Amino acid sequence: MPIAIEMPKLTDTMEEGILVEWSVEEGDKVSAGDVIALVETDKATMDVEAYDDGVLLKKVANTGDALPLGGLIAVLGDAGEDIAELLKEYQSNGVDSSSTPDSSNEAPPAVVQAATHQPAASPQESSSTNGRTKASPLAKRMATDHGLKLVDVMGSGPSGRIIKRDIQAEIDRTHVLKPSLPSPQVPVSAERGYESIRISSMRKTIARRLAESKDTSPHFYLNADVDVGALIAQRQTVNEYLEKSSGFKVSFNDFITKACASGLIMHPDVNVTYASEDGVIHRYNYVDVGIAVAIDDGLVTPVVRDAHLKSVSTIGLEIQALATRARDKQLDLSEMEGSTFTTSNLGMFGIESFTAIINPPNACILAIGSIRDVPVVEDGAVVAGKRMKLTLSCDHRVVDGAVGARFMSTLKELLENPVSLLL
C-alpha cells in the first residue's frame, strides 16, 4: 500500500516547514534513510529522510510551500501503485496536496470548465457551511498573516472552499493602494503600494520566543564603559604572532567571549537558567556561550562549548567556523542549543550601545558596542582614549542587581588587563 511522507517535527519549537529543495525525482527508487528533500525550519535548513523503501510515486508539495506538521510532502510505494485514495484521505482531512487547488496556480479542470461555460454574473457556491467558513489550512494561515476575514473572501475551490489563490487575489486587491491624481506641484509615482513578504519559519519563532522572553522575564540593564586601550595593543601582539604561524587573526569579540567565560566561572550565580516549571534555578559548573549571528532570515546563536577551558585563538577559530556554517544554514541543532550565556555584538555596525533581549532560557545576555575614540582625563591631563560600552541584560527573577554588577566589574577588569585572558 502507498506510504505517506509527512512534514516531520525537526525541532522542538517547529510549527511548520518550508520545502526548499527536492533531492529525488518522481519514479526514483528510495531506500530507508535516504534524504528526499531539504526543509527550512524555524532554526535551520534540515534533511527530510525516508523511513521506508520504495519508489517516489508523487511529489505532493512544491518548492517554496509552507506545510504544517503532518502535512503531506510525498507518497512512496510500489511502481504503478494507485494513490488516489490516500490523496483523497488527506484532502478530506483538510491537508492540501498537489491534487488540490492550493498547490497550483492553475484551477482544477472542473473549475476551469465552470468558469468557461457559465456567465460572468453567475454566483459561486458559498464557502460557508453551518456558520463555518470552509478554507484550506494554507488559506487560513495566509488570511491570518494578512489580517483578512475569511467571510469576506469568495472561494473558488471545491464546494466553494477558500484556497490559496483566493486569498492571494484578495491580498492583491486590498493591499495595493491607488491614490487619486496628484497635484501638479507634487510629483509622485503613478501607483503606490507595498510588498507583503511572507516571513520565514525562523523569523516567526524568533518573534514568538523574544516576545515571550520580554513578557515573562523582568529585564533590567547594567552598563559599563571599558577602557580597551590595552586590549587593542594585546590583540595586535597576538595577531602578529598568529599571522606568522597560521595566518589566522583573533577579533575583539573572541577576547570578550573568553572574558565572559572566565567571569562566569568566578560568578556562577550569573551562569544560570530558571526552570519555572520546576521552581528551581540551574547553576552550571561549565560555560557554553551562545554567539548571536545575523543571517538573511534573522538570528541564530551557535554555541561555543566549554569556553572557559579554551584559549582565545581556539575560541576565535571555532566562532569563525560556526558563523560561516550558520550563514550557509548548515548548523546542526546540537550546535545551537544549550547555551548558558549569550553575547550579541553590533559594534561592527558603528552602534555605540544597545540593550539586547535575553535569549531563553539564559538568565543574561551581553550587548557589545563599538570601540570609540574619546577624550579622557589621566593624571590631570586630557588625552586620547579608547572606550567600549557593554550592557548586560539580566532576568531579575534569578539574577539580582548586585550579582550582575559584580560580574560586570570582573568583566571590565579582565578586558582592561587582557594578558590575564592568555594565561
Gyration radius of the chain over CA positions? 28
* Contact between residue 177 and residue 192 where contact means Cβ atoms under 8 Å apart: yes
Whether 396 is catalytic: yes
Question: Does the N-terminal peptide bond of residue 179 adopt cis geometry, omega within 30 degrees of 0?
Answer: no
Alpha carbon 229 to its chain centroid, in Å, reads: 36
Residue-by-residue DSSP string for 340-384: SEEEEE-GGGT-----PPP-TTBSEEEEEEEEEEEEEEETTEEEE
Q: Kindly report the backbone phi and psi dihedral angles of residue 138, in degrees, each rounded to the nearest multiple of 5, phi listed first.
A: -65, -40
Q: Which of 146, 175, 219, 396 is catalytic?
A: 396
**Minimal CA–CA distance to 231: which of 198, 264, 193, 257?**
257
* Contact between residue 45 and residue 63 where contact means Cβ atoms under 8 Å apart: no
Q: Kindly report the backbone phi and psi dihedral angles of residue 185, in degrees, each rounded to the nearest multiple of 5, phi listed first.
A: -80, -15
Strands 303-304, 364-378: pairing is unpaired
Helices (H), 189-248: 201-216, 229-245
Catalytic residues: 396
